[in-house]
Amino acid sequence: MEEKIGEKFQRETKYDRNRLPGGSVDLNNKPLMYKEYPEAGKIALPAVERCGDMNLYEALLRRKSQRRFIDAPISLDMLSCVLWSSSGIQRKEMGFAFRTAPSAGALYPIETYIIANRVTGIENGVYHYQVKHHLMEELEAGDFSSRIAHASLGQQMCASAAAVIVYAALFERSVWKYKQRGYRYIYLDAGHMAQNLALASASIGLGCCHIGSMFDNEVNEIIGTDGTDESVVYMSVIGQTGMCV
């Protein structure tokens, strides 16, 4: 019987005692850890001192996928909180910046983009989260709400959400070290980041839902990634639901 791509992937990226398909790591060619858009306008994000006051147990009880949002905007403080919680730098050890979510080999292959539909104080448009300085870089201004809903198989929550968070993988950051097995880790990394975002959202009273169904290249076109070296792997929507914390 013909082996399907998923089965082949499982087989070829499996470690067993006779086969560790790693190979050597070329330390002189480590991919850059941070993506930056030097020409882009910068939006400073408020420093995150606290993300709400809810304890973890309560946030776990409240987290659920929310797909209906009201028109009210979210604040830049809220956006800053969820971005930091999913993708931000949380500590430095021996000069190396570690982040809020774990990452295989601390390689951090996922870049985070924001499609702002309703965020107080910033124009609607597409932004890149610049991890190193906790700021947003403006990629394109405009109303992308219908386009991103269309690109996610018509899921209207992408249009009604205050913001759509797009996780895109720069595959080489992981593949550089782990070769084809790196692809497993990339998707696991994105899951960790999204769960942090979901819990942070719950703790500050925002609704959140993750999205795996999208026309990948239509989303790539919106965020300006080529779909080969860098591609969307996951998305989350966040917004006000009208429910109190």
Ligand X SMILES: Cc1cc2nc3c(=O)[nH]c(=O)nc-3n(C[C@H](O)[C@H](O)[C@H](O)COP(=O)(O)O)c2cc1C
Q: Which residues bind ligand X (CB under 6 A)?
A: 64-65, 67, 155, 209-213
Minimum distance between the CB of residue 209 and ligand X, rounded to whole angstroms? 5
Minimum distance between the CB of residue 69 and ligand X, rounded to whole angstroms? 13
Q: 237 - beta bridge partners? A: 164, 209
Choose between 140 and 218: whose C-beta lies nearer to ligand X: 218
Minimum distance between the CB of residue 142 and ligand X, rounded to whole angstroms? 24
Choose between 176 and 185: whose C-beta lies nearer to ligand X: 185
Query: Taking CB positions, which residue lies at the least distance from ligand X?
Result: 212
Can you tell me the distance from the alpha carbon of 115 to that of 56, in angstroms, rounded to the nearest whole number? 28
Which stretches within the chain are classed as H helix? 5-12, 56-62, 76-87, 145-151, 157-160, 172-178, 182-203, 216-223
**What phi-psi label fits residue 73: left (phi over 0), alpha (psi between -120 and 50 degrees) or beta?**
beta
213-242 residues labelled b (16+ CB within 10 A) or e (exposed): ebeeebbbebbebeeeebbbbbbbbbbbbe
Task: Tally the residues of the chain.
Answer: 245
Choose between 45 and 194: whose C-beta lies nearer to ligand X: 194
Choose between 44 and 188: whose C-beta lies nearer to ligand X: 188
Choose between 80 and 87: whose C-beta lies nearer to ligand X: 87
Can you tell me the distance from the alpha carbon of 59 to that of 42, in angstroms, rounded to the nearest whole number? 32
